[in-house]
Chain A
């Protein structure tokens, strides 16, 4: 049985209670002094460090610059995943022979975690832009491809038949029927994909030498600044959430337009 929705006041109250108890426990743990403050900084230490990182360059850049360069890499890896994944998924759904060629290779490769591509990417691309883009791509690509393919495969047969009956070419059937019909599934895939791509980021930036939130965190680790590492984690979490909320908006806008 599904519980009835909570009243807004109650909902926000409980949310705040959850956040407060988490921060409270953390503060107590930091204050009782079981460990050194360098090892477990208090929440306000992290906030203070966050403020510093915004104005004082650490590892060569301020936090905003690190974030920006991370976002740029993410956009390239994610963009590439979308540019390859959507057309390939549609082609696989429309032409059985393409499906037969791609599926075995894809199934074999997708179980290699994005992070497991790090050594390979380092060998191939060194510290160039290619490495991180490849790793983010490996995280972001499978959900785009799978959701496009499944969405296109599950398109109601009546639309395909209508399209054929109306004399549409394979190209028009794919772009004007399969693609829009699969859009809800594709957008759901993009959300998963953006999440995995963004999560792969730190792994990707372990092999980058000059900038990025992941790089900043690695440097923080090297200089035993737990607060810096935590700031990086917070920044990654917040930006990830923002990306997901943005994509959710897109999803809702599409559903409203469709009258779902």
Chain B
């Protein structure tokens, strides 16, 4: 079972001898094949949560487990899609996707098969030999997602993956991610500050507060989505028009706005 468990996770940073608590009492279980989005104001520690699951950072208290094993370092079983893509600019699309597969010791024929499959799935056909700088932002992020997906990872960690894209591209990528997630469900931890994106993509939404970062509320989206059959609509704007969607979105918005009020005084 490829779940992600945060158990009493705490993260304290030291700056000039002053300690400040970035994350406190984080308890969360992302179930196998569940898509969980974490939303929160910037600086609430949501990215730190993802990075701890990736093994790129470590909790100062409690632990983070993936598939019941404590995370100690990064590895291909926990593939990350970074906000800034982090594609290797000196490698072609094909070689970028192949990079992780090579570490998995998959034989050459199998690697080729898997890369061809993911390239077709992500609509990257014809760009195999292109370099990242020759592609648009949306295409680059497709490559980054392909590079993560091709590893067939236990969990997929996405850190504001569409944050650097323009609005139109962003919508297309969101629709594609939904298509991909429904066709080929994975355990996903998705970090975003865009409320609509979270409501549209996630099974559950975790709303976080700032300073110290704690979990404010966990909202179940999946039951509503299935009850209202959102997936019959192919286009994001049709889903966004549904009263149930609007209601959820407003609810999440209010939770985030409450915190802004706290900041003001």
Is A124 on the interface with B (CB-CB < 8 A)?
no
Bits for A136-176, please: 1 = Cβ < 8 Å to B, else 0: 00000000000000000000001101111111110010001
Q: How far is A208 from B61 in the complex, measured between Cα atoms in Å?
A: 67
| Pairwise interchain contact B86-A158, C-beta atoms closer than 8 A | yes
Closest to A181 in B: B90
| Pairwise interchain contact A166-B151, C-beta atoms closer than 8 A | yes
Q: How far is A259 from B92 in the complex, measured between Cα atoms in Å?
A: 13
Main secondary structure of the interface of B (DSSP, over half): loop
B95 → chain A, closest Cβ, in Å? 9
Near A by CB (< 8 A), chain B positions 133-154 give 133-134, 147, 151
Is A51 on the interface with B (CB-CB < 8 A)?
no
Q: How far is A161 from B157 in the complex, measured between Cα atoms in Å?
A: 13
| Pairwise interchain contact A165-B76, C-beta atoms closer than 8 A | yes
Beyond A165-B54, A258-B133, A259-B134, whether A172 also contacts B76 by CB under 8 A is no
Contacts of B90 in A (CB 8 A): 180-181, 183, 258
Interface residues on B, range: 20 to 34
| Pairwise interchain contact A166-B82, C-beta atoms closer than 8 A | no
| Pairwise interchain contact A161-B74, C-beta atoms closer than 8 A | yes
B55 → chain A, closest Cβ, in Å? 8
| Pairwise interchain contact A172-B133, C-beta atoms closer than 8 A | no
Is A177 on the interface with B (CB-CB < 8 A)?
yes
Q: How far is A31 from B159 in the complex, measured between Cα atoms in Å?
A: 76
Bits for A224-260, please: 1 = Cβ < 8 Å to B, else 0: 0000000000000000000000000000000001110
* Interface segment, one of B100-108, B109-117, B217-225: B100-108
Near A by CB (< 8 A), chain B positions 39-98 give 54, 56, 73-76, 78-80, 82, 84, 86-91
| Pairwise interchain contact B79-A165, C-beta atoms closer than 8 A | yes
| Pairwise interchain contact B147-A166, C-beta atoms closer than 8 A | yes
Residues of A within 8 A of B (CB): 158-159, 161-169, 172, 176-177, 180-181, 183, 257-259
Residues of B within 8 A of A (CB): 54, 56, 73-76, 78-80, 82, 84, 86-91, 99-100, 102-104, 131, 133-134, 147, 151
Give 30 CB contacts A-B under 8 Å: A159-B88, A161-B80, A161-B86, A162-B80, A162-B82, A162-B86, A165-B56, A165-B74, A165-B75, A165-B76, A165-B78, A165-B79, A165-B80, A165-B100, A166-B76, A166-B79, A166-B100, A166-B147, A166-B151, A167-B76, A168-B99, A168-B100, A169-B103, A172-B102, A176-B91, A176-B99, A180-B88, A180-B91, A257-B131, A258-B89
